[in-house]
Amino acid sequence: MARKLHYFDLNGLAEPIRYILHYGKQKFEDVRYRYKDWPIKSVKDSLPYGQLPLYEEGNRTLNQSLAIARYLANVHNLLPSDPWEQAVLDSIVYNIYDFWQRVLFYIKEQDVTKKQAIKKEIMSETIDYFFSRFEKDLKDNNGYFGGKLSWADFIFVGIVESTNLFLGEEIERKYPHSVALIQKIRNLPGVKEYVATRKPYVL
Ligand SMILES: N[C@@H](CCC(=O)N[C@@H](CS)C(=O)NCC(=O)O)C(=O)O
């Protein structure tokens, strides 16, 4: 059955999904559209909600990055079977996406002065607000969000890397448990080979 992941030639919301697929040694076509060429009308019009990522499996398609990542996590044993544990991980993933929402304000702002002000707030307040909490979660849970490797860890690393690309920073620098988790994910079998061969992302 053919599998395809459609996204831009960026890490963004697709990189955690790519990581999960590579970790699962799942063959798939990594379809990448040039961000600079967007919107590509024929592609955009073909998407169910006009946005990427989109995942295809045979004749079935799925949009929404978290639905795709959670589904693939389920397939590749990165989702616990206990409903409470699943919900705890879901809440962590939404917390990580709440952080990403703040970064999106920065990405979308066109006014240079306002953009600088948003970045200042992210660097001086937002990062510490979220990362002090992420650090506690990781410290209390054996260095992983759920006590052992799960999809939340992949989401975290992808979002940190995307934030770093857009802000031109290394936001995890002061947070040792976050740094350690990023290293662990990048060194996983499958992921390690992918990271070694992927082209650097450029905006
Ligand atoms: N909630 C959606 C958001 C998708 C989204 O915002 N996609 C952006 C890229 S990260 C996009 O397709 N932008 C181009 C457009 O809207 O035309 C998800 O998590 O998949």
For residue range 17-49, what is the model confidence (pLDDT) as tens digits? 999 999 999 999 999 999 999 999 999 999 999
Pick from 38, 47, 51 the residue to mutate for probing ligand 1's pocket: most ligand atoms within 8 Å of its CB: 51
Q: In this structure, which residue's CA is closest to atom 1 in ligand 1?
A: 64
Q: What is the mean pLDDT of residues 165-180?
A: 98
Closest C-alpha among 98, 73, 88, 61 to residue 17: 73
Quickly tell me which residue has 């990405």 as its tokens.
107
Does ligand 1 lie within 6 Å of residue 11's CB atom? no
- DSSP bridge partners of 169: none
Does ligand 1 lie within 6 Å of residue 65's CB atom? yes
Query: Same domain, yes or no, for 153 and 101?
Result: yes
Count how many domains the chain has: 2
Host domain of residue 30: 3-77+190-197
For residue range 71-110, what is the model confidence (pLDDT) as tens digits? 999 999 999 999 999 999 999 999 999 999 999 999 999 9
Q: What are phi and psi of 180, to 5 degrees?
A: -65, -40
Q: Would you state the pLDDT for residue 67?
A: 98
Q: Would you state the pLDDT for residue 26?
A: 98
The first and second tokens of residue 37, run together, are 């060429």
Does ligand 1 lie within 6 Å of residue 176's CB atom? no
Distance 19 CA to ligand 1 centre (A): 18
β-strands 3-8, 54-57 pairing: antiparallel
In a domain, 126, yes or no: yes
**Is residue 190 within 8 Å of residue 23, measured between CB atoms?**
yes
User: pTM to 2 decimals?
Assistant: 0.98
**Is residue 22 within 8 Å of residue 193, measured between CB atoms?**
yes
| Cβ-based burial of 85 (10 A; exposed 0-12, middle 13-18, buried ≥19) | middle
Query: Same domain, yes or no, for 106 and 159?
Result: yes
**Mean pLDDT value across the chain:** 98
Distance 51 CA to ligand 1 centre (A): 5
**Is residue 181 within 8 Å of residue 187, measured between CB atoms?**
no
Q: Would you state the pLDDT for residue 74?
A: 98
Query: Same domain, yes or no, for 117 and 173?
Result: yes
The CATH code of the domain that includes 160 is: 1.20.1050.10
